[in-house]
A and B are shown apart, each in its own frame.
Chain A
Amino acid sequence: MLRPFALEEPTSVREASALLAHYGEAARLYAGGTELLLAMKEGLLRYDYLINIKTIAGLAGIARDADVLRIGAATTHRTLERSPEVHTHFPALTHLEAHVANVRVRGTGTIGGNLCFAEPHADPGTLLQVYDARVRLEHQESARTISLEAFFVGPFEVALGEDEILTEIQVPLLPAHAAAAYRKFGFLERPSVGVAVAVTARPDGVRDVRVAVGCVGPTPRRVREAEAMLSGKEVEAVRACLPAAGELAGRAADAVSDLHGSAEYKEYLVGVLLRRAFEDAYRQDMAGEHSDG
């Protein structure tokens, strides 16, 4: 049962930040509430105040600014899924957003809420890392922008200060002749393993490969050791390296046995999904379906 709480409805980021500073641990930001309210109903979390940030103008929406897509933190998964801008430049993100959790979550859950809750078994944080996404964090007096990679500190823990608010996710366009793909596997509602790959390729070879693994360990993370193994090779040479890179990515993901499966099983799946995601991104590249180039 949901315990009573007071709802604050600030109209600016500054005001929301001041409320956070004022109430401290008794308050939490509230956007879609798809994670937070469930945890509160279960009695896992208790807050006396929820600060509704959906009332802040300008915090939801998608805009392209030169080579960067700016996504307001309160933008819902559904809005991202249906955005022509996202579909044109980040088709893998459109595909991911169309398959996040279930239809109820997609309709109300927000991208910012998803990232801030930092549930290890989530999708967007993994794919966004191969785009080198950054997050803008604001509080009363100032703002800073950090990489999404640095934003994830641990399970359910992010690099937000006490009165800081995630306001925007900045996603740079992929370079020319690049495409991304995200593959996941799960038998529960949450994914058990997720692998994202971005490939920059020309007919004469694969210039650059970015790899991120999520759900397996405490946080989604880039696996630069695997990227180094796959980049700058002819495609057949990359394919020959994929099993070894998959093994490496599996180990680097810091897999732990849990309800989703044993560590060994997840490591194996990372390899399988890495191969599939690579082939998917490479096929898009060769078909000229890469982002805008």
Chain B
Amino acid sequence: MRFEKQVTVKAPRQVVWDLLWDIAKLASCVPGCQSAEMVDPYARYRATVQEKVGPFRLTVPLDIDIVEHNAPRRLIARASGRDRLLQSHVKVELALTLLEVDPQITALQVETDVAVLGKLGTLGHSVIIRKGGDIVDQFAAALQAELRKERG
């Protein structure tokens, strides 16, 4: 299931780009991200995310591989993991493109392809996609708040 979304943040492109590589700060901006660590800089990371859809709670430890990074413009990553309790696999392909709207405004274009296999998949992809859109919005708002904090 693919979806695309574009959000804008009020900060120069380079500042947004740098924040994307600050793992602790980035993790704090990703809704449901409980932990994140760097395995190999600019190449491999690990994170655990938890998401709730109504009464269903999904906890997925993700292995994240950076496929491509082209500063300060484009980042492509692949992540996959498995929720042990729900016996569901999650695979995510993520492409982030940073566009300079003006020197102080950056548009963040998010393109993702999410696959959920296993029991959770039967709940319907519509739920996951809808949630994905909300997550991107919340991520952008948190990113904006973090940038504001950083820039005083």
Using a CB–CB distance below 8 Å, which chain A residues touch chain B?
Answer: 28, 39, 42-46, 118, 120-121, 154-157, 217-218, 256-260
- Give chain B nearest CB distance to A21 CB in angstroms: 17
In the bound assembly, the distance between CA atoms of A157 and B123 in angstroms comes to 13
List B contacts of A260 (CB < 8 A): 124
Contacts of A155 in B (CB 8 A): 53-54, 123-124, 126-127, 130
When distances are taken between beta carbons in the complex, the residues of chain B under 8 Å from A39 are 56
A46: chain B residues at CB < 8 Å are 85
Complex CA distance for A156 and B130, rounded to whole angstroms: 12
Contact B55 A28 (CB under 8 A): yes
Which 7 A-B pairs have CB atoms at the shortest separation, nearest pair first? A156-B54, A256-B126, A258-B125, A155-B127, A157-B54, A258-B126, A258-B124
Interface residues of B in 38-84 (CB under 8 A from A): 53-56
**Cα distance A117–B129 in the bound complex, in angstroms:** 19
Q: Are A44 and B120 in contact (CB under 8 A)?
A: yes
Residues of the B chain whose Cβ atoms lie less than 8 Å from the Cβ of A45 = 55-56
Given A120-B126, A155-B124, A257-B53 contact (CB < 8 Å): no
Q: How large is the interface on B (under 10, 10 to 19, 20 to 34, 35 or more residues)?
A: 10 to 19
Q: Is the CB of A256 within 8 A of B120?
A: no
Determine the distance from Cα of A46 to Cα of B84 in the docked complex, in whole angstroms: 14
B87 and A43 within 8 A (CB): yes
For the complex, give the distance between the alpha carbons of A217 and B125 in Å: 11
**Residue from A121, A155, A217, A259 with most neighbouring chain B CB atoms (10 Å):** A155
**Within 8 Å CB of B122, what residues of A?**
259
Q: Which chain A residues border B124 with CB–CB below 8 Å? A: 120-121, 155, 258-260
Q: Does B86 contact A (CB under 8 A)?
A: yes
CB distance from A76 to the nearest CB of B (A): 22
Asked if B148 CB lies within 8 Å of chain A CBs, one says no
Q: Is B7 an interface residue (CB 8 A)?
A: no
A44-B119 Cα distance, complex, nearest whole Å: 8
Pair A257/B127 contact, Cβ less than 8 Å: no
* Given A28-B55, A45-B56: A156 and B86 interface contact (C-beta under 8 Å): no
Tell me if B55 and A257 are in contact (CB < 8 A): no
Query: Mind listing 11 A-B residue pairs with CB under 8 Å?
Result: A42-B119, A44-B119, A45-B56, A118-B54, A155-B127, A156-B127, A157-B53, A217-B126, A218-B126, A218-B130, A258-B1
Other than A118-B54, A120-B124, A155-B54, give 7 A-B pairs with Cβ distance below 8 A. A44-B56, A45-B56, A155-B123, A155-B126, A156-B53, A156-B123, A257-B126
Instruction: Decide if A256 touches B130 in the complex (CB within 8 Å).
Output: yes
Residues of A within 8 A of B125 (CB): 256-259
**Which residues of chain A are near B130, meaning CB under 8 Å?**
154-155, 218, 256
Q: Shortest distance in angstroms between B55's beta carbon and chain A's nearest beta carbon? A: 6
Most buried by A among B55, B125, B130: B55
Chain A residue contacts of B54, Cβ below 8 A: 118, 154-157
B93-134 residues at the A interface, CB under 8 angstroms: 119-127, 129-130
Chain B proximity of A140: nearest CB distance (Å): 22
Q: Which residue of B lies closest to A36 (CB)?
A: B55
Q: Which residue of chain A has its CB nearest to the CB of B121?
A: A259
Beta-carbon nearest neighbor of A219 in chain B: B130
A contact residues around B123 at 8 Å (CB): 44, 155-156
Which of A28, A42, A45, A258: most chain B CB closer than 10 A?
A: A258
Chain A positions within 8 Å of B87 at CB level = 43
